Amino acid sequence: MWGVAAVAALGFLGGCATPPGEDSSQVMYDEVHDPIEPLNRYFFDVNNALDAVALKPVSHIYRDALPDAVQDSVSNFLSNLSQPMYFINNVLQGDLDGAGDNMGSFFTNTFLGVGGLFDVAQIDYQEEDLGQTFAVWGISEGPYLVLPILGPNTTREAVGIAGEHFIDPVNLVANNNDIDNVPLIRGLATAIDFRSRSLDSLDEIEKNSIDFYATIRSLYRQNRKALILDGNGDLTPLPDISFDQDDDKPLPSDRISLLVEDDESPDLKAKSSDN
């Protein structure tokens, strides 16, 4: 319980933090929105060190030692376990079609796919978590937050993760049947599954970036935005390439990024009315 309270408290603290002074433009501030950056950088380094000594080596062994078919089945099994939670979130977001896809996948793969080991359904479902649901409800993402072990988050997503722990049907079923350590084992397995598939790309990003922390922060934010928009092609987040050259300046109506500011604008408005 205290974990949740702490996360929530952090969120409120962050929410009250005032934007930086005049020297940074509002635009830049909104993009980065990282008022506790020094602390975040510290935990980012701690997490990287933990990753290097624990998660990364294990994921390497997992990837290299196990046959691909086994890894796929682990992946399928874990995705299938997440479907009830995706279903709940789709319902909460009012996306009944999406919820139907989740339900279809879950039942087909559980019964025909040997408990979810095989993806028989082959349905393109969407991964919806509580953080995304909050976003759909109009809650702004809040400051960027790197939590110990949990890694990159925004305040909204962190509260979502904590909330899901208590409403996830899989955890409830496990609790009711006195099966211990289900969330723990599942969390570890998910972490290893994900890490083993991102070994190369993460190494690559680390090697090529001149500020790994800022790159990850940017990737995380952009990826979250895309997830919230459910990969809606017409709303692909794109940079607003506007320049001081007058003949090159897009008309206000051409500024595509306006389309993707829905996520941020309530926050923006709230701030300007505060000031």
Partner 1 sequence: MKIKTLLVLSVTAFCFAAAPALVIPTPHTAHAAEKPGQKEAKELVEQLGTEAVELLANDTISAAEQREAFDKLISRDFNMKLIGRFVLGKHWRKATKDQQVEYQALFKRYIISTYQKRIGEYSGENLKIIRAKPLNKKEFLVLSQIIRPSGPPIKLDWRVRKGKKNGQKIVDIIVENVSMAITHRDEFSSVISQNGGQVEGLLARLRKQIASAEK
> Which residues from 29-88 bind partner 1, rule CB under 8 A?
31-32, 47, 51, 55, 68
Q: What is the DSSP letter of 198?
A: S
- Of residues 22, 97, 178, 244, which one binds partner 1 by CB under 8 A? 244
**Residue (92 or 205) nearer to partner 1, CB:** 205
Q: Which one of the spans 11-19, 88-96, 102-110, 186-194 is the region binding partner 1 (CB under 8 A)?
A: 186-194
Q: Does residue 3 bind partner 1 (CB under 8 A)?
A: yes
Contact assessment for residue 40 and residue 144, using Cβ atoms and an 8 Å cutoff: yes
**Residue (252 or 273) nearer to partner 1, CB:** 252
- Of residues 183, 262, 264, 271, which one binds partner 1 by CB under 8 A? 183
Q: Does residue 208 bind partner 1 (CB under 8 A)?
A: yes
Q: Does residue 97 bind partner 1 (CB under 8 A)?
A: no
Here's the x/- map for partner 1, 98-137, by CB under 8 A: it reads as: --------------------------x-xx----------
Contact assessment for residue 93 and residue 128, using Cβ atoms and an 8 Å cutoff: yes
Contacts of 231 (CB under 8 A, 6+ apart): 126
- Of residues 53, 188, 258, 270, which one binds partner 1 by CB under 8 A? 188
Contacts of 20 (CB under 8 A, 6+ apart): 29, 35
In the complex, what is the shortest distance from the CB of residue 129 to partner 1, in angstroms, rounded to a whole number? 9
Q: Which one of the spans 112-120, 133-141, 144-152, 261-269 is the region binding partner 1 (CB under 8 A)?
A: 144-152
Quote the tokens at residue 98.
């999406």
**Residue (1 or 65) nearer to partner 1, CB:** 1
SS3 51: helix
Cα 15 from Cα 130, distance rounded (Å): 19
**Residue (236 or 270) nearer to partner 1, CB:** 236
- Of residues 9, 53, 115, 236, which one binds partner 1 by CB under 8 A? 236
The footprint of partner 1 on this chain (CB under 8 A) covers a number of residues equal to 78
**Residue (88 or 273) nearer to partner 1, CB:** 88
- Residue that the structure tokens 């990969």 belong to: 231
Q: Does residue 217 bind partner 1 (CB under 8 A)?
A: yes
Torsion of the alpha carbons at 61, 63, 65 and 68, rounded to the nearest 10: 170
**Residue (91 or 189) nearer to partner 1, CB:** 189
- Residue that the structure tokens 């409120």 belong to: 12
The dihedrals phi and psi of 117, each to the nearest 5 degrees, come to -70, -25
Please name the residue ranges forming H helices in the chain.
Answer: 2-16, 26-32, 37-50, 56-65, 68-92, 96-111, 130-136, 155-167, 169-176, 182-197, 199-208, 212-228, 265-274
**Residue (75 or 273) nearer to partner 1, CB:** 75
- Of residues 238, 258, 268, 270, which one binds partner 1 by CB under 8 A? 238
Question: Interior CA angle at 201 toward 197 and 203, to 5°?
Answer: 110
